[in-house]
Structure 1
């Protein structure tokens, strides 16, 4: 009996408070910032004192109003890759221990290259791209099950589907792959988009495993491409394990409770803004199912920073795109961004700054002179060119330019390039997973698609293509997000049409694909497009001409957005054409005489390498 009682007491002492979660789950030796904040979570874990082995220094221990958390900060400077042991003691008696690994970094990890203006980025919504492993469609540990006939439900696309179609992506001329969030999103509805994450250290099992994601990263690199992670700093999902048991009341913004953002991001820098309006934008929740994270809380900020760095090291990532960047606490997100780029000086981060004014977007780019007026620097290398997207969405339906329509929309967008500290570090696009589909807006007018894509491929910045556009996929934003996020044909067994293969494409799909592939494959090795200077000329009769040039090459782009054929004299462009007499059209291979005049078909484009 005494023996049984001893066993029970011994067992209780070890199960009364255990680290049910440890985050980050492991770390790396030799980081630029040697301080590591480790979250230990378990029932009443804060009652214990904490020590660590290997003569590692504990810099700080934070216990909050929730006794189930303890945040332990250690100094890893000069600590080699090793196995540490944390001891949790009660009255100097060890209640339990926790192993913790410091792993060795890959060689030159800190110096990793990232995406830049030499790349074309292909944007994938994984649930809608390809179902490579039907066995994980309705994983038992997650709430929402596959229901492909529901436009807003889960359809079963996964990591394996992406891996199986990397050759297709590469053939398009893409050199970087941006995948919308893959971490677990356990919402009961709409979980397929991934932006309401419930565990930011775990790949959603309906997409695969953490190991599958590592395999995706490796396979992308084998194809000579780069992998970009879609990171969310502004919010989590309401099913996040930590939201169920908050470490601190102010881990998320509370009013108390829920209050929605007013979405007025200009209040972040409006010198006349009221405090209440600014707070409502920054602290208000994006939607009721997405608790708004408080980046001004140092514990939260450290957690988000370390999670981001952990994924870079763990998955050998090549860059980030950050969702709703300008909704974050702007001082907090600046610190988050700088901490990452301090660790990885060449790492690129594109922030979603969805504004309709270039000065306001430029405010958010690293070293902005506009931000400097308010002594602010976001340290964000790349912002997304939403004004360029807006111009592309209207210009090609306007046959007559007038004062500010048609190609003047594009010209005026680039007039304001002087506002940006680095115009080559703008992510440029015609659409993405949140906007109207380009081919829907223009009713699958192939000529308009040609003009828009040729422009994206030849102006400054980093072009991004949304999956399916290259085969003519459309979708009406007015019918809901599900309609702009259709399944890629051929991604599911039994699909009648397999657009991943030449044999499976119909005539329209092949026409779109061939054009897109030829254009962006050409762009891959064109330094003059990647980093050359731009000279643009005022559109005339809705014909827009601009040049990309450096000391070695000159590319002339002419877009006739008129419904009529146009002939224009080239003498006006002498400062750019110089002594060149002709150019080879990248799209047709034909030689075009530019010595006197050029004739263009209605709604057409020329991309000429001048000889």
Structure 2
């Protein structure tokens, strides 16, 4: 990806581009000492449609029209007083075949979320790098532990063996913070993979190796903020590139102000323009230069690394109109491209507001254009329900039932990311004291309800972590990812008996799900829980699956006549885990704290 720069130019971004894009307007940012004083032209008869200068003379934003231009090298000429001063080559590359029509992830997939620094160290040579401040220190819980892209590549077969088809890795671009840089959400260069993870070429190789195994790669993209060490923060293109106040102002995190008809202007401004943290400058997506820069950066990564989707961090912290334009620009370029946004809200109506074509946001004439949202209300329900043994009016399995009763608010329930934990929450197995019965019930739930299931690395071997002890505790190293680890959970013979029980259940469940279109896209009918037992069906014209979750401490005999409208003429059900067969014509006996997933015959 190397780009030879003229001595007068320090950076060109995007570093190259692609011919044949739907949006032919390309904004190229040239950065160098006093570069704005130059007049610029370009070869090959290319039309320059706009030259934008800001109050900072070190930036020049040049927009060209690439329509009908094939892959080629362009030459930009920089003149001063009509005398040529220097030139800069710029490449338009050929796109991959059918790039615009790439297939993304959907409800037929299972997404595996990992943090690269904590997953596996595949290359000891990049544990520390001269170009980045923080060095390797595995003894420090919040330090750099050395996990990298090579570690992911070496363990793709392990991830695939779980039934996972898609990997969402937390950000991989450079984060040069002096401490806690391992999470990489405070990025310092969004065109460069953090050298402690590997190179840009390594990231492309990860994508390629995954595609060979029919797996999909999702990039964690951050539109709301960069890190304080981002190179632009030392020399902003324009004051309006980031949101600024007279003194440091942190966001109030109250994203409800965006749709709240009673919200004050100061609360709204603080929410949208306040910084996430002192180390994370807030990007201003209302600024057209910054918005275009972020849009092109996202599209560049899709083309360059052959990506299959995005997960967008803090989606609804950004300027609403700006983030909607960003999302539409990406999906206009790639009509099948899926993007899931982090919309951490407390009600279904508030989450629905942020999904594309929502009937809720339509009231306010707003459309986020975001295809997929994260089901945080389901997450909240699963973090409590399995400890509530006696199902009453609003306890136990009623919490799960009630979550799905509000699905009418969503325009597309198949485009919901369903999960019981992620890298920002308490570990599920911590919450439930490593009670594997509760883990099995929860995994069965997210594997069989509507939407796209997401598994957080290590949950499948019983890993725990208490967020109350700090983020590092919920982001511990995967055992076996480092040379010398006594316990190697990546391989069957290296797992403890307890780890094996978690792994074997998870693997069998999600590998079964992988081929079941009735679960991916079938309809759902559920029944009001009784005695803390929740029963629901997934079905289409050809298949039917009956799910029974007994969250009580008692064995229950379930009279199946209540479910006649779904059981119809089916006589037996085969449990996908135990492979035992059940007569479903009159009653089913289910053990305490257990689940049955019955394929009806």
Q: Structure 1 length normalisation: TM-score? A: 0.97
Would you say the 8 A contact 2:272–2:318 is kept in 1?
yes
- 1:28 aligns with 18
- 2:241 aligns with 251
Look up the SS of the partner of 1:373 in the other structure: helix
Matches for 1:15-54 after TM superposition, within 5 Å: 18-54=8-44
Look up the SS of the partner of 1:607 in the other structure: strand
Is the counterpart of residue 79 in structure 1 residue 69 in structure 2? yes
Matches for 1:457-606 after TM superposition, within 5 Å: 457-606=447-596
Would you say the 8 A contact 1:393–1:441 is kept in 2?
yes
Look up the SS of the partner of 2:596 in the other structure: strand
Look up the SS of the partner of 1:369 in the other structure: coil
- 2:445 aligns with 455
Q: 1:372 aligns with which of 343, 346, 362?
A: 362
Q: d(CA) in 2 for partners of 1:33 and 1:16?
A: 28
- 1:4 aligns with none
- 2:320 aligns with 330
- Over the residues paired in the alignment, what is the CA RMSD in angstroms? 0.8
Look up the SS of the partner of 2:426 in the other structure: coil
Q: d(CA) in 2 for partners of 1:403 and 1:105?
A: 57
Q: d(CA) in 2 for partners of 1:422 and 1:69?
A: 43
Is the counterpart of residue 242 in structure 1 residue 232 in structure 2? yes
- 2:436 aligns with 446
Would you say the 8 A contact 2:286–2:319 is kept in 1?
yes
Q: 2:420 aligns with which of 430, 438, 444?
A: 430
Look up the SS of the partner of 1:276 in the other structure: helix
Q: d(CA) in 1 for partners of 2:56 and 2:300?
A: 25
Would you say the 8 A contact 1:17–1:44 is kept in 2?
no
State the shift of 1:468 in Å: 0.2
State the shift of 1:256 in Å: 2.6
State the shift of 1:288 in Å: 0.4
Would you say the 8 A contact 2:6–2:87 is kept in 1?
no
Q: d(CA) in 2 for partners of 1:434 and 1:522?
A: 28
Look up the SS of the partner of 2:444 in the other structure: helix
Q: 2:351 aligns with which of 331, 349, 361?
A: 361
Q: 2:83 aligns with which of 93, 108, 121?
A: 93
Matches for 1:312-327 after TM superposition, within 5 Å: 312-327=302-317
In the TM superposition, what whole-angstrom CA distance separates every residue of 1:163-212 from its partner, at most 9, and x where no partner exists? Answer: 00000000000000000000000000110000000000000000000000
Is the counterpart of residue 265 in structure 1 residue 255 in structure 2? yes
- 1:144 aligns with 134
Is the counterpart of residue 177 in structure 1 residue 167 in structure 2? yes
Q: d(CA) in 1 for partners of 2:579 and 2:76?
A: 67
- 1:5 aligns with none
Would you say the 8 A contact 1:17–1:45 is kept in 2?
no
- 1:414 aligns with 404
Unaligned runs of 5+ in 2: none
In the TM superposition, what whole-angstrom CA distance separates every residue of 1:542-597 from its partner, at most 9, and x where no partner exists? Answer: 00000000000000000000011111100000001001111000010000111101
Q: d(CA) in 2 for partners of 1:264 and 1:460?
A: 28
- 1:8 aligns with none
Q: d(CA) in 2 for partners of 1:36 and 1:577?
A: 57
Q: d(CA) in 2 for partners of 1:410 and 1:94?
A: 69
Q: 2:388 aligns with which of 398, 408, 420?
A: 398
Matches for 1:56-135 after TM superposition, within 5 Å: 56-135=46-125
In the TM superposition, what whole-angstrom CA distance separates every residue of 1:345-386 from its partner, at most 9, and x where no partner exists? Answer: 000000000001110000000000101000000000000000
Unaligned runs of 5+ in 1: 1-14
Q: d(CA) in 2 for partners of 1:213 and 1:412?
A: 42
Would you say the 8 A contact 1:17–1:43 is kept in 2?
no
> Where does structure 1 differ by over 4 angstroms across 4 or more consecutive aligned residues?
none
Would you say the 8 A contact 1:436–1:476 is kept in 2?
yes
Q: d(CA) in 2 for partners of 1:146 and 1:17?
A: 34
Q: d(CA) in 2 for partners of 1:43 and 1:592?
A: 76
Would you say the 8 A contact 1:518–1:587 is kept in 2?
yes
Q: d(CA) in 2 for partners of 1:17 and 1:588?
A: 68
Q: d(CA) in 1 for partners of 2:567 and 2:389?
A: 27
- 2:215 aligns with 225
Q: d(CA) in 2 for partners of 1:82 and 1:473?
A: 51
Would you say the 8 A contact 2:112–2:166 is kept in 1?
yes
Q: Aligned residue pairs: how many?
A: 597
Q: d(CA) in 2 for partners of 1:223 and 1:115?
A: 15
Q: d(CA) in 2 for partners of 1:216 and 1:257?
A: 43
Would you say the 8 A contact 2:107–2:451 is kept in 1?
yes
Q: Structure 2 length normalisation: TM-score? A: 0.99
In the TM superposition, what whole-angstrom CA distance separates every residue of 1:231-274 from its partner, at most 9, and x where no partner exists? Answer: 00000000000011001011100113421000000001111100
- 1:12 aligns with none
Would you say the 8 A contact 1:323–1:351 is kept in 2?
yes
Look up the SS of the partner of 1:242 in the other structure: helix
- 1:11 aligns with none
Look up the SS of the partner of 2:364 in the other structure: coil
State the shift of 1:19 in Å: 1.3
Matches for 1:178-197 after TM superposition, within 5 Å: 178-197=168-187
State the shift of 1:17 in Å: 6.8
Q: d(CA) in 2 for partners of 1:225 and 1:333?
A: 28
